[in-house]
């Protein structure tokens, strides 16, 4: 596994060279749009500004400077941009149903 940097909408995050970008972005709590997760719909597309990816065969229409994050794995540090603001998962205190109110320093 090789570690690399993914800059997504101007924010740098750590990534790797063995998983599709969509999976990596979701694991850090970002929520890019997607539907099929198999290169058919094009919902997950974004612009690849810098770097290179290995992209599996796909049927979706994309522009020459675009990639499909569901089937593209970074081969180097990459800079990608979605044309919308990515939602991010934020765990609120109401979501913690453990019943444990203890806090530690
Ligand atoms: S989610 Fe459909 S092409 Fe990526």
Q: How many Å apart are CA 88 and CA 28, to the nearest integer? A: 9
Inside any domain, residue 37: yes
Inside any domain, residue 22: yes
pLDDT score at 104? 53
**Tens digits of residue pLDDT in 19-71:** 999 999 999 999 999 999 999 999 999 999 999 999 999 899 999 999 999 99
Inside any domain, residue 89: no
CA 99 to chain centre: 32
What is the SS3 string spanning 23-41? HHHHHCCEECCCCCCCCCC
Rounded to the nearest angstrom, the distance between the alpha carbon of 102 and the centre of ligand 1 is: 42
Predicted TM-score (pTM) of the model is: 0.84
Full domain range(s) for residue 9 = 3-83
pLDDT at 87 over 80: yes
**DSSP 8-state class, residue 17:** S
Considering only residues 87 and 26, tell me which one the structure prediction assigns the higher pLDDT: 26
Inside any domain, residue 91: no
pLDDT score at 88? 87
Dihedral (CA of 50, 61, 16, 95) sign: positive
Query: Is ligand 1 within 6 A of the CB of residue 44?
Result: yes
pLDDT at 76 over 90: yes
Total domains, the chain: 1
Query: Is ligand 1 within 6 A of the CB of residue 39?
Result: yes
Inside any domain, residue 34: yes
The CATH code of the domain that includes 60 is: 3.10.20.30
Inside any domain, residue 104: no
Inside any domain, residue 100: no
Q: What band does 2 get if pLDDT is binned at 50, 70 and 90?
A: confident
pLDDT score at 89? 83
Rounded to the nearest angstrom, the distance between the alpha carbon of 43 and the centre of ligand 1 is: 5
């Amino acid at each position: 596994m090789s570690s690399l940097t993914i800059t997504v909408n101007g924010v740098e995050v750590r990534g790797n060279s063995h998983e599709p970008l969509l999976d990596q972005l979701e694991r850090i709590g970002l929520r890019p749009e997607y539907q099929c997760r198999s290169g058919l719909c094009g919902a997950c597309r974004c612009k690849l500004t810098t770097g290179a990816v290995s992209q599996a065969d796909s049927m979706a229409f994309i522009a020459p400077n675009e990639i499909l994050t569901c089937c593209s794995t970074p081969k180097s540090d990459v800079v990608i941009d979605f044309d919308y603001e990515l939602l991010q998962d934020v765990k609120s205190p109401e979501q913690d149903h453990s019943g444990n109110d203890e806090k530690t320093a």
